[in-house]
Amino acid sequence: MKRIAVYCGSASPADTRYVELAAQVGRQLAERGIGVVYGGGRLGLMGAVADGALEAGGEVIGVIPEALVSAEVAHTGLTRLDIVRGMHERKQAFVELSDGFLTLPGGVGTMDELWEAISWAQLGYHAKPVGVLNAFGFYDHLLAFNARMIETGFIRQVHAGIMIAEHELDLLLTRMAAHEPHKPIFAMNAADL
């Protein structure tokens, strides 16, 4: 993987472990020669990921909607900052620019990006790995919910492995690099569905 889209919060929680984690992830990706593609903001975990990667000499590409640039949240020290019209263009750029998706702790926007990456993988719009770094057990309940969707049949068994989750970045990146694409819905016939 040459570039990974990193999904994470634009907030800075009171628990500083989250911001420290984001900076560490940015540094570790840069040290591995993996570029960061992210939302282009300078605040919260987003800014920490970017700054961590930049400080380690990494490539950082931000993709930010125009409305957020004018709100003065754009990070101006990136390798490259792409300004797009809206969120749909931003998420499409993440797919086009990256070789996989890495989700750190975050809120509603982070969940939107994660579930869309998974949904697009199920359908066949991309065949890239979708990773979740379950640091500090942040995503325990989300992973249980995902398992429940698989158990009840709302996620097909052939798609059960799309979400790759680990507690440690090294193991997660290893599993993401070994990812093998599944059979997407677009390649199935009615009997498979």
- The pLDDT tens digits of the residues spanning 5-63 come to 999 999 999 999 999 999 999 999 999 999 999 999 999 999 999 999 999 999 999 99
For residue 134, being part of any structural domain is answered with: yes
- The pLDDT tens digits of the residues spanning 137-146 come to 999 999 999 9
Residue 108 has pLDDT above 90, yes or no: yes
Q: How many CA atoms lie within 13 A of 102 on its CB side?
A: 33
d(CA 166, CA 178): 14
Q: Residue 130 belongs to a domain with what CATH number? A: 3.40.50.450
For residue 118, being part of any structural domain is answered with: yes
pLDDT at 180: 93
CA dihedral 174, 4, 87, 79 (to 10 degrees): 160
Contact between 37 and 69 under an 8 Å Cβ cutoff? The reply is no
For residue 184, being part of any structural domain is answered with: no
pLDDT at 135: 97
For residue 148, being part of any structural domain is answered with: yes
For residue 192, being part of any structural domain is answered with: no
Residue 193 has pLDDT above 90, yes or no: no
Domain containing 92 equals 3-176
Helix (H, G, I), strand (E, B) or coil at 54: helix
For residue 187, being part of any structural domain is answered with: no
Which residues lie below 8 Å from residue 43, measured CB to CB, with a gap of 6+?
10, 11, 12, 73
pTM for the model:
0.95
- The pLDDT tens digits of the residues spanning 122-180 come to 999 999 999 999 999 999 999 999 999 999 999 999 999 999 999 999 999 999 999 99
Contact between 114 and 129 under an 8 Å Cβ cutoff? The reply is no
pLDDT at 188: 87
C-alpha Rg value of the chain to the nearest Å:
16
For residue 119, being part of any structural domain is answered with: yes
pLDDT at 51: 98
Which residues lie below 8 Å from residue 11, measured CB to CB, with a gap of 6+?
43, 44, 45, 106, 107
| Overall number of domains in the chain | 1
pLDDT at 190: 80
Encoded amino acid at 125, one letter? Y
For residue 86, being part of any structural domain is answered with: yes
